Structure 1
Amino acid sequence: MKKCSSYFIGFIVLFLTMQSCEEYLEETNPNAVSADVYWSSLIESNSNLTSVYGSMLSMFVLNLEVDAWRSDIGFPKSRRTPFGSGRPYYQKGFTDASNAIGQQWDALYQVAFRTNQVITGLNGMDEDLKSQEEWSHQMGQARLFRGLAHMWLNATYNNGNVIIRDFIPGTSDEFSVSVSSSDEVIAFFREDLKYAYDNLPAQFENKTRVDKGFAAALLGKSYLHTEEYTQAMVYLNDVIDNSEYGFELLEGDDVGLLFTHAGDFNSESIFEINYSDKHQVEDSNWDEESFFHRWARYTAPGGGRYGGRTDFVPTAWLTYEYSNEQMDSQDPRNYVDDGSGGVRFRSVPLRCAQFCQVVNDEESTYYGDTPANSAYAFGATIFSHFKKYTNHDIVAGEPETLVTGWKSHKNVVVQRLAEVYLNLAECQIKTGDLAGALENINTIRQRWGLVSLGLSDGSAHDFDEITYTAETLMDHLMYIEYPLELAAEGCNTRTTDLRRWGVAKERFTELATRVYHLANYTSNDGVTRNLSLIQEGPHPTAVPSITNTVMEHREAAENYVEALHDYFPLPLSETLNNQNAN
């Protein structure tokens, strides 16, 4: 069950204290937040703290589909007729006037403005209230979110040179603040995150609340991104080793809980956004503070009962890699009944089955069908689907969730422990500890039943028997482990990684040379799905055409310019309205 009762109670209290709930929720100008904050109790401040969590409900905070299009993991719908809204990001034709750029900017600063209201109110309390542990816990949560908003803004916009919002502006002059240097922004948000780390408990009873473990994960990631690997490892090791946080990787059969309703707030989840099918279901599809999101519709199959629109789907190379990772022959989870008294290998690896739906997955249930190919054709050059944000595990079609496929109450995982393991492995590669890096990467691979990297160590696992160097292991981490494990997660995660490694241009150039073709697939039950199975190389018999041949990222390879596309520019709306933004 969703652990959200206190979350919603807080919202109710918040709404009762506002002059106009409806006007407040529809307000788009973050400057409308009042600078006059006077609270006499921690109950009042907590209800306003909950409004910060409410601002995180906006889909524009994460912009998942845009990061997929911008990076190497997502294609805008059908290869025959790409989705129009995704083309500028996929083809690298976006500008400062592009909608998503302004929407994410406004959403992240809305988080910052809400936190500043809470921080101002808490600082205005008397000394008795300030001495209470609850005061420190509320301040820690507020400062974590303010730091998080600035961390994501720094990673996304204008070479990291963004506006520091650390107070509530009361006049237009106070709103017109110039950008700060990236170094100044990093110092600012790290101070907030360190305060949160020092003042938050290891975990709250209510898992919807952010805690010390999340602050540690963010700090570790921040230092990794500035190549301060030794400092990063302090926090990353803390997240993995500190039992007080309660974090554990899902392993064995429990891996099937990841990104399912049954797996809400599991031990691997560090922070997830809590949505609901019980509250404000009458809100508009486009209300960004409703308790539902549209990502299920954006990733579910289109047509028929599914109710999806498939705005973004896995790219060809990602789909192929998911489907063809080598399985560990010593892991019993990789064997299934062959129907004649024996066993055979699974049709696709466990990681693929959990994250990416493909036509040749014969074992997984997808929207009530086992296998999915018994009901869905995987045609029209849409040969795979992300599963992380759909309700495929509980309904036969998205409209069954809240009458319309536009409203999904599935939680959205922002950070989980697997990412911390991979972040730590990167630090270890960069500091010469290849054995440690292999151990952490293999921890992730082994929980999926995949062949381990490196030389055999006597354990009950298959190894690829390759002697890795720092360069080859880093290549594997960048181009296999990170994208397959974390595709379409977090805030601009993949785009940020390609940019910070300095490989975005060459990555698109290399992918543009790859040729795949679509083959017919006949299922174990004898159902044939034409042009549904992604394979490497040109089609062996048919004349290449847009329906059977897949080549991607060619426009990105041609158009990508680091100075223009590594970061989003400052939004046009900001430069027009903020006289000091330039």
Structure 2
Amino acid sequence: MKAKIIYQHILFALILLLTACDNELQPYDSKSTDVALATPADIQIATYGNYAMLVKEAYTRHFLTLNEWPGDNVVQSGADGDQASLGASYLHIPAMYPTTDFWAQSYKLIYSTNLIINKITDGESPLLDQLKGENLFLRAMAHFNLVRLFGRPYPQNKGENPGVPVVLGSDEELYPARNTVKEVYEAVIADLLKAGNLMKEAKNANFASKEVVDALLSRVYLYMEDNENAILYANKVISSNRYQLASTEMYKKSPTLVPETNPETIFNFRHTLADNKDKNAVGSLYYNDPETLSTGWGEYYTSEALWDLLNENPADARLAFITPHYIDGVLQYRGTSPQYFINKFNWQEGIANLASPVYLRLAEMYLNRAEAYAKTGKNQLAIDDVNLIRTRAGLSGSALYTVTALKGRGSVLNVVLEERRLELAYEGHRPGDLYRNNLPLVRAYPGLHGTDNFHFRVEPSDPRVVYYIPEREVNINRNLIQNP
């Protein structure tokens, strides 16, 4: 762990040296943090560096694949070289590189935010308060994203299961133990509440702002089953009037847009042209241009179950995010899986695999609120929010729900969870939505599922609902107890 902390010092130094072109270039180990972060300009540059950590492959790609592939919206069509597929098949190993790299990148980000957070005294200036708030948001998000992958869902054992280490300083215990899931959530909420109080500037969706904080608080409280607060913070975002649902036509084209031009985007991992990962980007895993078959790998498709669900209403705008691969009118297959390419992470600014994945958007706020309404007996309000999202998807008439006409879904909560599946597909929500609601994963459709290519089931109590702590970390840190 000590070696890792030294490495993190070096990494942070490189960010400063590479981005601060006007600064005197000298070895960072000859400079204290006080010198490296001496001015507000230095702190601004370092904060830009922290945002830049999100667009690294070790963060964006692994965040999306590790969170999405264990669900039932995406199907693995065959063998491939990405070890995140071990998550898709629930054949995890402690040494898989996606979890190893994501853990390391996350704590690099946390360490770098700590240097700034602990450098700034509240109230020094509006600019420094804003920057401290942005770094508090990034630290909270990093801890929350980690505990979702490596700690069991909060409702299981009321958050008392092992989570991940909460690291709030740059000189903490060299071998931190795992905090409980509850303790991680408490630290996340504390950071977000403070961040919201410090930030006054209404920045665009590439940066944190008070509304970004409120949006993440809505998600965090929903996952804790604190439904009243989930509603409260969703309402704060909605009533801010900073965001509007994109029109149906804009929504269908949303992957191609520069994200800050989309009125629905609250926060995204902003990738510029210079950040294009091409065939290492997450979009290349889902999509391959059917005309040329040269733009990507295209080995993970929309599952047949999701395809069939969307096609219950052929006018559903969310079908626009799927590109079936036909040759001479015949649907193509890889193995047993129909090639329903996913294009939700493609064609930003006309570049095949360029995308700025959205982390928070307004549609989620309506669906967070709808789920919380359903769980607190406010069924009509829940249905109203669901119908708002369906109407934006181009649906009307009999495709909408009423409290007394649930179309065989059984309950208003089931309606909401299904709408979350449709609306937030591929964005990293589905497995968590199932397991935090004590629901099993059921794959009754073709695909490479691990043990059965046509029938596969995972209970929410299964050990592999969460990933192993990376083997490298357990070997270095004697206080990290491995997941069973």
TM-score class normalised by the smaller sequence: 0.7 to 0.9
1:116 match: 114
The residue identity in structure 2 corresponding to 1:181 is: T
Q: 1:264 deviation in Å?
A: 4.5
Q: 1:48 deviation in Å?
A: 0.7
Query: Does the 8 Å contact 1:156/1:496 carry over to 2?
Result: no
CA shift in 2, pair 1:452/1:574, >3 Å: farther
Mapped pair 1:568 → 2:467: yes
Larger Rg: 1
CA shift in 2, pair 1:235/1:561, >3 Å: closer
2:6 match: none
2:199 match: 200
- Determine helix, strand or coil for the equivalent of 1:140: helix
1:164 match: 166
Q: 1:47 deviation in Å?
A: 0.6
Q: 1:373 deviation in Å?
A: 6.1
Q: 1:325 deviation in Å?
A: 3.0
Q: 1:439 deviation in Å?
A: 0.6
Q: 1:314 deviation in Å?
A: 1.3
Q: 1:411 deviation in Å?
A: 1.8
Q: Deviations over 1:8-42 (max 9, x none)?
A: x9996436658589xx9xxxxxxx9x973433321
Query: Does the 8 Å contact 1:270/1:415 carry over to 2?
Result: yes
Q: Deviations over 1:523-579 (max 9, x none)?
A: xxxxxxxxxxxxxxxxxxxxxxx9xxxx8563x42x767341121122111111012
Mapped pair 1:450 → 2:395: yes
The residue identity in structure 1 corresponding to 2:166 is: I
Q: Deviations over 1:474-501 (max 9, x none)?
A: 11222x2111111121xx4222212211
- Determine helix, strand or coil for the equivalent of 1:562: coil
* 2:411 paired residue among 472, 478, 491: 472
Partners of 1:84 and 1:115 lie apart in 2 by 30
* 1:493 paired residue among 429, 439, 443: 429
Partners of 2:223 and 2:358 lie apart in 1 by 21
The residue identity in structure 2 corresponding to 1:581 is: L
The size of the alignment, in residue pairs, is 447
Q: Deviations over 1:223-242 (max 9, x none)?
A: 11111111211111111112
1:190 match: 189
- Determine helix, strand or coil for the equivalent of 2:359: strand
Q: 1:374 deviation in Å?
A: 6.8
Comparing 292-301 with 416-425, greater Cα deviation is found at: 292-301
Q: 1:56 deviation in Å?
A: 0.8
Mapped pair 1:484 → 2:471: no
1:217 match: 215
Mapped pair 1:351 → 2:318: yes
Gaps of 5+ in 1: 1-8, 25-31, 287-291, 328-347, 360-371, 399-407, 454-460, 517-545
Query: Does the 8 Å contact 2:348/2:355 carry over to 1?
Result: no
Mapped pair 1:255 → 2:251: yes
1:431 match: 376
- Determine helix, strand or coil for the equivalent of 2:233: helix
Q: TM-score, normalised by structure 1?
A: 0.69
Mapped pair 1:53 → 2:7: no
- Determine helix, strand or coil for the equivalent of 1:487: coil
Comparing 147-156 with 83-92, greater Cα deviation is found at: 83-92
Partners of 2:283 and 2:234 lie apart in 1 by 31
- Determine helix, strand or coil for the equivalent of 1:40: coil
Mapped pair 1:325 → 2:327: no
- Determine helix, strand or coil for the equivalent of 2:255: coil
- Determine helix, strand or coil for the equivalent of 2:341: strand
The residue identity in structure 2 corresponding to 1:442 is: N
2:12 match: none
- Determine helix, strand or coil for the equivalent of 2:179: coil
The residue identity in structure 1 corresponding to 2:198 is: N
Query: Does the 8 Å contact 2:205/2:266 carry over to 1?
Result: no
Partners of 2:415 and 2:303 lie apart in 1 by 18
* 2:20 paired residue among 7, 14, 28: 14
Q: Deviations over 1:165-200 (max 9, x none)?
A: 111137xxx321111112211111111000111122
Partners of 1:470 and 1:319 lie apart in 2 by 17
Partners of 2:171 and 2:216 lie apart in 1 by 27
Partners of 1:373 and 1:476 lie apart in 2 by 36
Partners of 1:326 and 1:195 lie apart in 2 by 44
Partners of 1:248 and 1:451 lie apart in 2 by 20
Query: Does the 8 Å contact 1:10/1:46 carry over to 2?
Result: no
2:262 match: 266
Query: Does the 8 Å contact 1:97/1:571 carry over to 2?
Result: yes
Query: Does the 8 Å contact 2:17/2:25 carry over to 1?
Result: no
The residue identity in structure 2 corresponding to 1:250 is: A
Mapped pair 1:580 → 2:476: no
1:528 match: none
Q: 1:435 deviation in Å?
A: 0.7
1:411 match: 356
- Determine helix, strand or coil for the equivalent of 1:247: coil
- Determine helix, strand or coil for the equivalent of 1:569: coil
2:174 match: 175
2:341 match: 385
Q: 1:201 deviation in Å?
A: 2.6
Q: Deviations over 1:220-274 (max 9, x none)?
A: 111111111112111111111122xx11001243323322135554110000122
Q: 1:302 deviation in Å?
A: 6.8
The residue identity in structure 2 corresponding to 1:36 is: T
CA shift in 2, pair 1:60/1:232, >3 Å: same
CA shift in 2, pair 1:374/1:269, >3 Å: farther
Q: 1:76 deviation in Å?
A: 1.9
Q: Deviations over 1:123-158 (max 9, x none)?
A: 4xxx8xx43110110000000100111111122213
CA shift in 2, pair 1:111/1:462, >3 Å: closer
Gaps of 5+ in 2: 1-14, 153-161
Partners of 1:67 and 1:20 lie apart in 2 by 40
Query: Does the 8 Å contact 1:76/1:83 carry over to 2?
Result: no
CA shift in 2, pair 1:101/1:263, >3 Å: closer
Partners of 1:207 and 1:87 lie apart in 2 by 31
The residue identity in structure 2 corresponding to 1:358 is: P
Partners of 2:73 and 2:384 lie apart in 1 by 26
The residue identity in structure 2 corresponding to 1:484 is: L
1:334 match: none
- Determine helix, strand or coil for the equivalent of 1:85: coil
CA shift in 2, pair 1:305/1:93, >3 Å: closer
2:5 match: none
1:106 match: 104
Q: TM-score, normalised by structure 2?
A: 0.82
Partners of 2:409 and 2:374 lie apart in 1 by 6
The residue identity in structure 2 corresponding to 1:179 is: R
Mapped pair 1:316 → 2:215: no
Partners of 2:264 and 2:16 lie apart in 1 by 26
CA shift in 2, pair 1:108/1:376, >3 Å: farther
CA shift in 2, pair 1:240/1:325, >3 Å: farther
CA shift in 2, pair 1:10/1:412, >3 Å: farther
